[in-house]
Chains A and B, each alone.
Chain A
Amino acid sequence: MGTMVFISPERLAAALDRLAERFDLWVPSASSRGGGAVRFRRYASGTTPVLDRLTALSPKEAVQPQVESLLRFRYTKDAEDPGAIQLSLEDRIEVKPTLVFGARPCDARAFLLSDRVFLEGPYVDVYYRARRESTFLAGLVCREGDSACFCSAVGGGPADTAGSDLRIIPVGDGLVIEALQERGEPLLEGLGEPASDSIQEAAHQVVEEVSGRCMGELDTSGSIDAFKSRFQDGDYWREVAERCLSCGVCTFVCPTCYCFTITDESRNLQGERLRSWDSCMFYQYSLEASGHNPRPTRLDRYRNRVGHKFSYFPEKYDGQFSCTGCGRCVRSCPVSIDIRRAVAGLKENLCECP
């Protein structure tokens, strides 16, 4: 284990203030009226991080903003010759050092999966890379799982450290912060007091206890091919997704869904090319200019989502699923569509599938 510091409840605000001096700091927080979904927000002094409730959204927004500018363009008219118009482009990327505080293991792992898409090529996404390289993750040992969670079934676990630079271990009322990566070490400076032996011991126990938990069961073996053999089984997809509303909840709350659209918005002679989150659940996502849509119904679209996560992605990236088992798509689905059922059922006989 790496260096550990202990932050007592009284010192948490000061510790966060200190981090916020150096970083664009994202913490899980609720609305000021207390209600509303918990989500990662930019820290402002006085914000109380909510570490005992699951967040509605993952912190992917820190690296993949819901909307960002890719380019700015400008048409300039020549005062001497009004017919002559000059076009200019600007693609400056500005990033700030960022720290996500309190990402759960499922969310931290998701960054590693997105890295493969954005960084491995054949083309490197320079906007993603710039943000990703300056983003640190302080992962939280997760004790809040519920019946929608299944991180243990897709290669993670509630004490998994993959993707995290720091680890936050709730001990008593306070937090132990442990440096997991070398680049995490300097972040500990001045955050709290060095963790005493007894506190370190308590932290070990928490980690050990949580590591022993198995969150969710799902047999994913053979899903790459099982999906393909089910592809044209219309009855199966009707069974799984007939109730789908074709909204974007599952994709937007998902830590590993990364698909986006690019649109231009301009006013008079200048404007921006924007990139924003898109959802394969939307009819417009794959609608072609000719009017043809390869995925015209919500069944086609839901099937594509399952396929992407459990067949196409692992086929492309050495068997890794594009799913960290965070359970958000299950928990937040207005009609309780359960991707675990959709995956488990791929190999079952249809008549046995509920």
Chain B
Amino acid sequence: MNELRKAIEAEWPRLEVVIGWGLGFDPYHTRPLFVRRSEDLSGLIWNPFCVQNLTGYLVKTPVVKAEDKAKKVGICVRGCDSRSLVALIQEKLVVRDQLLVFGIPCSGTVDWRRIAVQTPLSGVKSARFEGDLLLVEDNGGVRKFSPDQYLARRCLRCVHPNPIIHDVLVGEPVPPRAAPGNRYRDVESFEQQNLPDRLAFWQEELDRCIRCYACRNACPLCICQDRCIAETREPRWLTQRMGVPEKFLFHFIHALHLAGRCTECGECERVCPMEIPVTLMKEKLGRIVGDLMGYEAGIDPEATPPLLTFNPAETGI
């Protein structure tokens, strides 16, 4: 989309580096792109294949920053990403003034793995949009997919498609996919199941976990980085064993460290090579925090996340 590129070009004199998306290993897979020279701006793209939340690069070492203090770091954010940014600002992990935020209203991104489950694809030749429909041509011909079939789960439950904060808005605001009352529908339908079924579900899902820690490393708010409790040597808190309880322990620690901080951006689930719906745990926590504390993470840069403060007059718990 040229509009984003134009917007960034217009601001280029103020910028030292821009974090955006570029082409990945094929036209339908994108990658984070760091642009430091104006001639490389042409590599920037924006389309429904742009899936990465880029805000983690502002906090994880080596941090992407402007060496020239008079200049700023440009960052592209969709609605979901902007909430991560708000959370990072709240926790003083990034300085708002050092950023130039390009906000992009987003109608959702493509999850190729959902498509693969519905139709095994071989040799994708092209993929394009016709209105809302995704048309994929492979060796078997052209197949059509509706948003319900191709959108990532996080996008189907999205209530904040438009950036919460931005300096430059690129594009027109779009309507949310889900009604606010509907955002926790996956958690709710999960909770319809009886306890043994829920246990069986997580046993089967977490059995696949290989403890690669992609979920943790892709999370913009997992900021312990190389000091994560999952890998400490002394004391060694977590065993190397690969039973489901051990894996569950890690995921539960991960989720609990994010309670009241997680903006449910869904990166943890997106990056999981084993396709485990790990965001579901964080959604459950998000709903509890909302119910108990009336708090929604990543909305108000001035607010203090409820578990980062102590309020003796707390009534919710």
Asked if residues A146 and B240 are in contact (CB atoms below 8 Å), the reply is no
CB distance from A248 to the nearest CB of B (A): 4
Indicate which residue in A251, A298, A336 contacts B31 across the interface (CB closer than 8 Å). Answer: A336
Assembly CA distance A143 to B122 (angstroms):
8
- B210 to chain A minimum Cβ distance, whole angstroms, is 5
Return chain B residues, CB-CB under 8 Å to A261.
240
Flag if B204 contacts A32 (CB, 8 Å).
yes
A-contacting residues, B48-79, CB 8 Å: 52, 56-57, 60-62, 64
Query: Which of the segments A118-126, A277-285, A306-314 contacts the partner chain?
Result: A277-285
A 25-64 to B, binary, CB cutoff 8 A, 1 in contact else 0 = 0000011111111010000000000001100110000000
A274 pairs with B241, CB closer than 8 A: yes
Q: Is there an interface contact between B24 and A338, defined as CB atoms closer than 8 Å?
A: yes
> How far does the Cβ of A348 sit from chain B's closest Cβ, in whole Å?
16
Contact A144:B275 (CB < 8 A) given known A66-B242, A67-B240, A245-B214: no
Q: Which of A281-319 contact B (CB under 8 A)?
A: 282-284, 297-299
Q: Do the beta carbons of B240 and A263 come within 8 Å of each other?
A: yes
Within the complex, the shortest CB–CB distance from A342 to chain B, in Å, comes to 12
List, in ascending order, chain B residues with CB within 8 A of A252's CB.
210, 212, 273
Are B274 and A247 in touch, CB under 8 angstroms?
no
Given contacts A274-B240, A284-B233, whether A249 and B212 have CB atoms under 8 Å apart is: yes
Given contacts A146-B123, A245-B217, contact A39 B31 (CB under 8 A): no
A335 contacts partner chain B, Cβ-Cβ < 8 Å: yes
CA distance A274 to B116 in the complex (A): 36
Q: Which of these, B52, B208, B275, contacts A335 with CB under 8 Å?
A: B52
- What separation, in Å, do the CA atoms of A261 and B240 have in the docked complex? 10
Chain B residues closer than 8 Å to A212, beta-carbon distance? none
B124: chain A residues at CB < 8 Å are 146-147
B271:A249 contact, CB within 8 angstroms: yes
State whether the Cβ of A8 lies closer than 8 Å to any Cβ in chain B: no
- Complex: chain A residue closest to B246, CB-CB: A67
* A165 nearest CB across to chain B (Å): 26
Q: Which of A309-354 contact B (CB under 8 A)?
A: 330, 332, 334-338, 340-341, 354
Q: How far is the CB of A61 from chain B (nearest CB, A)?
A: 9
A133 within 8 A of B: no
User: Does more than half of chain A's interface fall in helix, strand or loop, or is it mixed?
Assistant: loop
On whether the beta carbons of B241 and A243 are closer than 8 Å, the reply is no
B231 at the interface (CB under 8 A from A): yes
Residue B6 is within 8 A (CB to CB) of chain A in the complex: no
In contact, B273 and A243 (Cβ under 8 angstroms): no
Q: In the complex, what's the smallest C-beta–C-beta distance from A129 to chain B, in angstroms?
A: 22
Name the residue in B62, B121, B216, B273 with the highest tally of chain A Cβ atoms < 10 Å from its Cβ. B273
- Is there an interface contact between B34 and A34, defined as CB atoms closer than 8 Å? no
Q: How far is the CA of A302 from the CA of B204 in the complex (A)?
A: 32
CB distance from B190 to the nearest CB of A (A): 12
Could you tell me which residues of chain B, from 113 to 129, have a CB within 8 Å of some CB in chain A? 113-114, 116-117, 120-124
Query: Is the beta-carbon distance between B214 and A248 smaller than 8 angstroms?
Result: yes
Specify which of B57, B113, B201, B242 is in contact with A67 (CB 8 Å cutoff).
B242
Given contacts A249-B271, A282-B231, whether A334 and B52 have CB atoms under 8 Å apart is yes
**Would B25 and A247 count as touching, CB distance under 8 A?**
no
Does B210 lie within 8 Å of A334, measured CB to CB? no
Residues of A within 8 A of B120 (CB): 52-53, 144
Task: Check if A3 is an interface residue, CB within 8 A of chain B.
Answer: no
Partner of A146, one of B62, B122, B218, B226: B122
Tell me if B205 is interfacial: C-beta within 8 Å of chain A.
yes
- Cα A91 to Cα B214 in complex, Å, equals 34
Most B C-beta atoms less than 10 A away, residue of A146, A279, A335: A335
Contact yes or no, A253 B231, CB < 8 A: no
CB of A233 closer than 8 Å to a CB of B? no
Q: Is the CB of B218 within 8 A of A245?
A: yes
Using a CB–CB distance below 8 Å, which chain B residues touch chain A? 22, 24-26, 29-34, 43, 52, 56-57, 60-62, 64, 113-114, 116-117, 120-124, 201, 204-205, 208, 210-214, 216-218, 225-226, 231, 233, 236, 239-242, 267, 270-271, 273-276
Known: A147-B25, A354-B43. 20 other contacts (CB 8 A): A32-B204, A35-B114, A35-B117, A36-B208, A36-B275, A37-B113, A37-B274, A66-B242, A145-B122, A245-B56, A245-B218, A248-B211, A252-B210, A253-B212, A263-B236, A265-B239, A265-B240, A332-B273, A335-B31, A340-B25
In the assembled complex, 22 residue pairs joining A and B whose CB atoms fall closer than 8 Å, in A order, are A35-B114, A36-B274, A37-B275, A39-B208, A67-B242, A145-B122, A147-B124, A242-B34, A243-B31, A245-B214, A246-B217, A247-B213, A247-B216, A248-B211, A277-B210, A284-B226, A284-B233, A297-B61, A330-B25, A335-B31, A336-B25, A354-B22
